[in-house]
A and B are shown apart, each in its own frame.
Chain A
């Protein structure tokens, strides 16, 4: 946390996620700077919901997010690409069978 006290008083970066309305996931909308979590939340409210966009906000310090690396992209995501049997359209069901 030492970077919150740089002599210039630069505030750390936060990522912002907004739930646009009930029934939707929170989506990443951008980032902002804030000195503390509470300020990040009010800044997110002021910056990213000026047009009635949100019903809920998450903020998280950018440096606390762990992300997959680009080197990991192939081993992470390619193996799921051929598992076509996970998708409902893989299965042929006669049209006259109801409710399926």
Chain B
């Protein structure tokens, strides 16, 4: 019987010849290591403390954003969006892991990625506060994603020229991902802004909720001009007002957080901290 062995039998049967089947099915082949061929030795003369801090901040943004996106799982407005949101979260999770690893190589502690993610408290996290706010509705998630991906894309584009070859490689990988996230968010912003009265109203509310957190982003990385231009282009096309509002004092980059980060981390870290000696 051809299906006695579950894996081998996939290649058998009247019309599922292995080679022909693969070509016909457009199955994926091969994966690339984003750091393939990159020298991970820290170049001499580099300010390693500054480099480590940069990696940590970018990793924290990515991890906290990914955590919020994963909360959509089984709750998305349509099944296709489940898949789309998970893809974005997986990209960000991947970036976080590479950046934490680089942080461990440059801050002198030699820690691994999980030490940063699971065994630091909220006050030690350096993510921007916008990333940690609760998901709200789909409109808020889209506006936040639009803002964060536009901003991060601009920063990573600059970092492709980083003197650290690892950070430059992570940035080069990241800009392709971020360009897609921004496009996904921009298309949805357009649909929701121009959709129904309700969706338009929700988008306005989301813009108001996000606006106070904008200044903090540009204080962390001065890409205000190009990001503002991108955001204005999207809101205008969507028939929405520009993102404006009084800035909220404080900055996640300096360890100031909203009340939402601690519960997010408590959940993220709960199993790892309950079993500190365990291997997973």
Q: Consider the complex of A and B and state whether they touch directly, i.e. have CB atoms less than 8 Å apart.
A: yes
Q: Does residue B37 face the partner (Cβ distance < 8 Å to A)?
A: no
- Chain A contact residue count (CB 8 A cutoff): 26
Instruction: Determine if A29 and B29 form an interchain contact, defined as CB atoms under 8 angstroms apart.
Output: no
Within 8 A of A (CB), among B79-111: 80, 83-84, 87
Contact of A46 among B31, B87, B191 (CB under 8 A): B87
Instruction: Determine if B87 and A53 form an interchain contact, defined as CB atoms under 8 angstroms apart.
Output: no
| A33 to B26 Cα, complex, angstroms | 20
Give 1 or 0 for each of B243-279: 1 = CB within 8 Å of chain A CB.
0000000000000000000000000000000000000
Chain B interface residues toward A at CB < 8 A: 23-31, 78, 80, 83-84, 87, 183-184, 187, 191
Residue of A18, A34, A47, A54 most packed against chain B (CB within 10 A): A47
Instruction: Determine if B27 and A53 form an interchain contact, defined as CB atoms under 8 angstroms apart.
Output: yes
Give 1 or 0 for each of A20-42: 1 = CB within 8 Å of chain B CB.
11001001010011111011001
Contact of B80 among A47, A49, A51, A54 (CB under 8 A): A47
Closest chain A residue, CB of each to CB of B22: A20
Instruction: Determine if A19 and B87 form an interchain contact, defined as CB atoms under 8 angstroms apart.
Output: no
Given A47-B83, A48-B26, A53-B27, 12 other A-B residues pairs in contact with their CB atoms under 8 A: A20-B26, A32-B80, A33-B78, A33-B80, A35-B191, A42-B183, A42-B184, A42-B187, A46-B84, A50-B28, A53-B28, A54-B26
Chain A positions within 8 Å of B31 at CB level? 52
Instruction: Determine if A38 and B187 form an interchain contact, defined as CB atoms under 8 angstroms apart.
Output: yes
Contact of B26 among A11, A27, A36 (CB under 8 A): A27
Contact of A29 among B26, B84, B183 (CB under 8 A): B26
| A39 to B77 Cα, complex, angstroms | 14
Contact of A27 among B24, B29, B78, B80 (CB under 8 A): B24
Contact of B30 among A43, A49, A52 (CB under 8 A): A52
| A29 to B22 Cα, complex, angstroms | 12
CB distance from A35 to the nearest CB of B (A): 7
| A48 to B27 Cα, complex, angstroms | 9
Instruction: Determine if A18 and B26 form an interchain contact, defined as CB atoms under 8 angstroms apart.
Output: yes
Instruction: Determine if B78 and A11 form an interchain contact, defined as CB atoms under 8 angstroms apart.
Output: yes
Q: Would you give 29 A-B contacts (Cβ < 8 Å), ordered by A?
A: A18-B26, A19-B26, A20-B25, A20-B26, A20-B27, A21-B29, A24-B23, A24-B26, A27-B24, A29-B25, A33-B78, A35-B191, A36-B191, A39-B187, A39-B191, A42-B183, A42-B184, A42-B187, A43-B80, A43-B83, A46-B83, A47-B80, A49-B28, A50-B28, A50-B83, A52-B29, A52-B31, A53-B28, A54-B26
Chain A positions within 8 Å of B191 at CB level? 35-36, 39
Instruction: Determine if A50 and B80 form an interchain contact, defined as CB atoms under 8 angstroms apart.
Output: no
If A11-B78, A24-B23, A38-B187 touch, does A51 touch B84 (CB 8 Å cutoff)? no
| A81 to B78 Cα, complex, angstroms | 46
CB distance from B76 to the nearest CB of A (A): 12
Chain A positions within 8 Å of B78 at CB level? 11, 33
| A54 to B30 Cα, complex, angstroms | 12
Closest chain B residue, CB of each to CB of A34: B80
| A56 to B90 Cα, complex, angstroms | 22
Chain B positions within 8 Å of A38 at CB level? 187
